[in-house]
Structure 1
Amino acid sequence: MFSVSSEQLSVWLLAFLWPFVRMLALVSTAPIFSEGAVPRSAKVGLAVLLTIAIAPTLGPMPSAAPVSAAGIWILIQQILIGTVMGFSMRMVFAMVQAAGEYAGLQMGLSFASFFDPTSGGNTMVLARLLNVIAMLIFLAIDGHLLLIGTLAESFHSLPIADAPLAASGWFLLVSAGSQIFTGGLMLALPLIATLLTLNLAMGILNRVSPQFSIFAVGFPITLLAGLAMLQVLMQYMAPFLGPQFAEGFLSIDTVLRGLRP
């Protein structure tokens, strides 16, 4: 007769609980997976399927009980690790949204905003458009599969243990946040430079010919020029974002190695 003892049940529970928590934390914060359009049941189901596939390949788990102080500490660590991995890749998409914010301000589209369920606030329509394009590029290069592979590899680079996480990993994560501003500015720089030159030209024309109403024709010209430059910029987004996504995966690996005790 098949029987299961409480000790065996506890071992099985630990073998799936802590990997599941790390995977669920990543699915809840990583781009694509954490979108508001994805139902919560689908996120939990994906985390369960990943746990069933990956957990048997992992080594022995710490012997701490789930309801003990050590078990709760390990649980918190797995939440932090999964969140850090998802947040590291999300910074690349935040960079794209920042580029859309910069370009929208220059084009005069600061008033064209709507509620974005992903960020929980109002977002410029141009920033949302660029973010959707970045998601499509991410899916086209199989970034979601690479992210799952990175998640599976994280259990080897940073195994589940009760040792405290190193502080250097948090510093590396904060340092990587600088790419949000620098990368966003580099992506929007051609459009910003073009519109700045156009505004300077219209300012000079207004000084030379005072009867020229800059307020009447300035906004339509700026908007049309911005849309034309945006169309030119679209064909360079994939070559620009490819290395940025690679840098995001490298940032995940660097931060995980920095968190290693």
Structure 2
Amino acid sequence: MITVTSAELQTWIAAFLWPLARILGLISAAPVFGNRSVPARIKLALGVMLALIIAPTVPALPALEPMSASGLLILAQQFIIGLAMGFAMRIVFSAVEMAGEVTGLTMGLGFATFYDPMSRGQSSAISQFLSLLTILVFLAANIHLALLATLAESFTTLPISASPAGALRFQQVANWGGQIFSAGVQLSLPMVAALLITNVALGILTRAAPQLNLFGIGFPVTIGVGFIMIALALPYLATPLERLLQDGIGMVRQISMPTPLMTR
């Protein structure tokens, strides 16, 4: 007859529950995985499947009851770590969406907004187009597999423990948030520069011929030039997008590395 003690049962529950919290935290915040169009049951099933695969490879866990105060703190800590890892990748998509917003506003398409299920808000048509393009690069370059591999490695580089994770890790995430502005401006710079030259040319034309209706010819010209520049820039966007996604994976690895306070 097989007998299972309560201590063994609690150890099995902790060995499954604590890795599951980190995995679900990443899935809830990471792009593509955390999209609202993906049903919650699919997300939960994916998290449970990954937890069943990763749990046997997790290093030794602290001898604590999972439902105790210390166990619940570890559970919350693991969820926050996974959330930070997924949020680091989400920042990359936010930078691309900002590039689309800047391009759309410069083109005069600021009124063409739609509901974006990924950002859960209103975004311009150009922003959604670039976001879909980034998702294709994300999947075609197997960045989603690299993200899951980094998640599995994080249980070795940053094992589950009762010690606090440290504030330095979350400061890295906050500093990484600056990529939203720097990378967004860099991606939209060719389109914005061409549209700036177009607006300067339209301003000179209006001064030379005041009888021309600027609103009648200005919007079609800027929109047309914007679409032409997007079409010309599309073949060259895959390389910077893939590099930006690789930088996001590098940031996820930095989050999963131990801080100096933990290595002492």
Partner of 2:183: 183
* RMSD over equivalenced CA pairs, Å: 1.1
Q: Distance in 1 between matches of 2:149 and 2:258?
A: 19
Q: Do the aligned residues in 1 keep the contact of 2:99 with 2:185 (CA within 8 Å)?
A: yes
Query: What pairs with 1:116-131 in structure 2 (closer than 5 Å)?
Result: 116-131=116-131
Partner of 1:138: 138
Partner of 1:88: 88
TM-score by length of 2: 0.96
Partner of 2:4: 4
Query: What pairs with 1:107-118 in structure 2 (closer than 5 Å)?
Result: 107-118=107-118
Q: Do the aligned residues in 2 keep the contact of 1:167 with 1:258 (CA within 8 Å)?
A: no
Partner of 1:165: 165
Partner of 2:79: 79
Partner of 1:227: 227
Q: Distance in 2 between matches of 1:24 and 1:171?
A: 22
Matched pairs, number: 261
Q: Do the aligned residues in 1 keep the contact of 2:206 with 2:214 (CA within 8 Å)?
A: yes
Q: The residue matched to 1:134 in structure 2 has which SS?
A: helix
Is 249-258 or 159-168 further displaced after alignment? 249-258
Residue type of the alignment partner of 1:164: P
Q: Distance in 1 between matches of 2:253 and 2:144?
A: 16
Q: Distance in 2 between matches of 1:248 and 1:258?
A: 18
Q: CA deviation at 1:17?
A: 0.5
Q: Do the aligned residues in 1 keep the contact of 2:21 with 2:79 (CA within 8 Å)?
A: yes
Q: CA deviation at 1:256?
A: 2.7
Partner of 2:218: 218
Residue type of the alignment partner of 1:17: L
Partner of 2:25: 25
Q: Distance in 2 between matches of 1:214 and 1:155?
A: 60
Runs in 1 of length 4+ with deviation above 4 angstroms? none
Residues 169-227 of structure 1: CA deviation (Å, up to 9, x unaligned): 11111111111101010000000000000000010011011122211110001111101
Q: Distance in 2 between matches of 1:137 and 1:154?
A: 24
Residue type of the alignment partner of 1:202: L
Q: CA deviation at 1:258?
A: 5.6
Q: CA deviation at 1:45?
A: 0.4
Q: Do the aligned residues in 1 keep the contact of 2:154 with 2:257 (CA within 8 Å)?
A: no
Q: Distance in 1 between matches of 2:14 and 2:48?
A: 14
Residues 89-118 of structure 1: CA deviation (Å, up to 9, x unaligned): 111100000000000000111000012222
Q: Distance in 1 between matches of 2:89 and 2:184?
A: 15
Partner of 1:102: 102
The answer for unaligned runs of 5 or more in structure 1 is none
Q: Distance in 2 between matches of 1:228 and 1:186?
A: 18
Q: Distance in 2 between matches of 1:201 and 1:118?
A: 37
Residue type of the alignment partner of 1:32: V
Q: CA deviation at 1:259?
A: 4.7
